[in-house]
Amino acid sequence: MSPRPVSPTGLRAALRAGCLRVIAERAELNHINIFPVPDGDTGTNLALTVGAIWHGLRGPAGPAAVAVLRRAAAEANDHARGNSGALFAHFLQGAVDALPPAAPLAIPQLAAAAAGGAARARAALARPREGTILSVMQAFADALAEGARAAPVEPRAGFLAAVAAAQGALRRTTTQVPELRRAGLVDAGARGFVNFLEGAAQLVETGRAALRGERPVDVPPAAIEAVAAGENRDGSHCVECTIRADPVDRAGLKAALLQLPLAGFVIEGTRQRARVHAHAAHGDALLAAAARYGAISQVRSERAPAAGARSRRVAIVTDSGADVPDDIHATHDLHVVPVRLSLGGRDCIDGVSLSPREFYDAMRTSEVVARTSQPPPGDFRRMYEHLLAHHDEVIEVSVAGNLSGALQSAGSAAARTDPRRVRVFDSGHVAGALGLMALWAAEAAQAGWTSAQILAGLERMRPRSGQFGLIRDVRYGVRGGRVPRLALPLTRLLRVCPLARNRPDGRFGMLGGMWGRSELAERFARRVARQLDPSRTYRLIVGHCDCAGEADRVRTALVAAVPRIERIWVMDAGTAIGAHAGPGSLLIGYQDYEPPAP
């Protein structure tokens, strides 16, 4: 007699039960996530991936079990997050592709599906490695195949035996990977896959879904620190993007990515859509390579918190409307959500898919109009979810609400994530002043301040920070519609460069003008210095719109004219402000500095 197939309703219930088990165990998975990169977000990424499956399977199961599995694979592919989520999506897609459209799901078909899924996941990795989720997937598939060969067993018995085999393979991961052996841990991605199988198995055995997770295991901090100290620095950022083409040349894309200095990557998706997840030092090279194979969208670039940052209660986030020196991001664990930018019809991600040099070159050599837009709420939400896997709370230090809709996007994302743990603060500033505010908050978080203390401190620092700007050529503001057309001929005729300063409400007002072109940078610096209290100690950020030499002269003049400077930086002004100020403009952000004492 032929083995009885799985019913569509039963498969739907089992898949949803597996999803619930992963979601319940996400804290443990984050806690044990030390390989291949100790970024502590495997549980979050898997939970977000399977959460989409759970929601996608809410409706009626339909007449075919394969259709249920296909729907689950589609949801996983559309919402896969992180390395583990991408591999899980690969497994489901490979399982679907291994089956005829109307196949019953008895043990032989389940075995074929699992074999296809394990092979698809393995092929997705640039450098497959045993002792990971791949080994557990293969053990599960092999056990199902053995059950199909041995006897026409019922799906229930064959599935439970295969889950036991996967559990055994999970235990062996501790001895197969040196980093895991030193820490005495199993692989987090493999644990998550087994969690999924165990959730389904519990439903099969008892008819009840697992809604509560186990207590997180105790991982010695020294073990995490040891692994983190030896991690590949090329994997400091988690970068993801979607490539759409008809078809996507997956082999060519994989070959191109293998040429890059990546700590590892996964490519998943369908014939016309590929999702890349990689660990890299920066995302620009990866995105440039991916763009050769189709249209890029859904870009995400998040820096993994440093090992020492894991004990901090509060994480600090801002957006790329803030000018933050490069060395600050890593040393102060400051996270940035990039602004969206449209440049002549080309949609870009500030600082991720477009560098300042490319941006200013395009503005100078063409008549394209650069337009900025705030990050959508989803960009903020993904950042908050990522950080809440590592910290108790998150504070977003936002660009002035009167200058951008980013404040509203961030607030919407906070409400959808966890409003008790994510707070959004209107800095009232932009560019260097915003960067100094965010840096101050990051220092306070490093000093161990609570979120309430940091927010109160930011209230004090807001009126003690500010921004000056010297606009070299108003044609860019005229082109973008923010400056009246009459201003262009007037400023050229009078040879005057407008001088602006931000007001208490966050908007910029005219402070006057700088006449002539001789020693413009030095005169700008001295003009700003006269606005500062010589008895106070200042931090300063000199931002330049592709005029580094003049910015250096501003710095020199400020050092000579301001008696007490705690620190001064020179950096590229972000495209968020450069789109309106234009090439050649100079900015000075200042802060009457008060160090946040421990």
What secondary structure, in 3-state letters, does 263-313 show? CEEEEEEECCEEEEEEEECCCHHHHHHHHCCCEEEEEEEEECCCHHHHHCC
For residues 115-133, average pLDDT: 87
Least confident of 91-100, 545-554, 570-579, 587-596: 570-579
Q: What is the mean pLDDT of the chain?
A: 81
Out of 256-260, 308-312, 439-443, 530-534, pick the least confident. 308-312
State the amino acid at position 483 in one-letter form: V
Lowest mean pLDDT among 15-19, 235-239, 513-517: 235-239
The pLDDT value given to residue 141? 95
Nearest to 569 by CA among 433, 371, 464: 433
Model pLDDT, residue 219: 36
For residue 227, pLDDT over 50 is answered with no
- Helix (H) / strand (E) element for 389: namely none
Please state, for a pLDDT cut of 90, what percent of the chain lies above it: 32
Bridge partners, 586 (sequence order): 470, 544
Q: Is the pLDDT of residue 245 over 50?
A: yes
pLDDT, greater one: 407 or 579 = 407
State in words which class domain 465-592 has.
alpha beta
What pLDDT is recorded for position 310? 47
Where exactly does CATH 3.30.1180.10 map onto the chain?
Answer: 465-592
Q: Are 32 and 211 in contact (CB under 8 A)?
A: no
Q: Strands, E, within 505-592: which ranges?
A: 508-515, 538-544, 565-572, 586-592
Identify the weakest region by mean pLDDT among 120-124, 331-335, 479-483, 506-510. Answer: 479-483
* Segments of the chain assigned to CATH 1.25.40.340: 8-229
For residues 424 and 414, is the Cβ–Cβ distance under 8 A? yes
Range with the lowest mean pLDDT among 194-203, 241-250, 350-359, 430-439? 350-359
- What would the mean pLDDT of 544-560 be, rounded to a whole number? 92
Q: Residues with Cβ < 8 Å from 210, sequence gap 6 or more?
A: 17, 20, 21, 24, 198, 199, 202
Is the predicted pLDDT of residue 356 greater than 60, yes or no? yes
**pLDDT value at residue 305:** 55
- Least confident interval from 109-113, 133-137, 431-435, 502-506: 502-506
Mean pLDDT of 535-550: 92
> pLDDT digit string (tens) for 150-184?
766 677 888 899 999 999 999 999 999 988 988 88
pLDDT score recorded for residue 134:
94
For 72, residues 6+ apart whose C-beta sits below 8 A from its C-beta are 15, 53, 56, 57, 92
Residue 250: predicted pLDDT: 83
* Mean pLDDT confidence for 90-95: 92
CB 124 within 8 A of CB 87: yes
Is the whole model's pTM more than 0.75, yes or no?
no
CATH topology of domain 8-229: 1.25.40
Q: How confident is the model at residue 368 (pLDDT cuts 50, 70, 90)?
A: low
Q: Which residue has the higher pLDDT, 205 or 450?
A: 450
Residue-level pLDDT at 217: 39
Residue 22 has pLDDT above 80, yes or no: yes
What is the reported pLDDT for 228? 32
- Give the distance from CA 228 to its chain's centroid: 19
- Looking at residue 395, its pLDDT comes to 96
Name beta bridge partners: 423: 395
Percent of the chain with pLDDT over 70: 80
Q: Which of 3-17, 57-71, 368-382, 459-473 has the lowest mean pLDDT?
A: 368-382
Please check whether the domain covering 232-304 is classified as CATH 3.30.160.270. Answer: no
Of 410, 425, 496, the C-alpha closest to 465 is: 425
**Helices and strands (H and E) in the chain: how many:** 24, 17
What per-residue confidence (pLDDT) applies to 288? 77
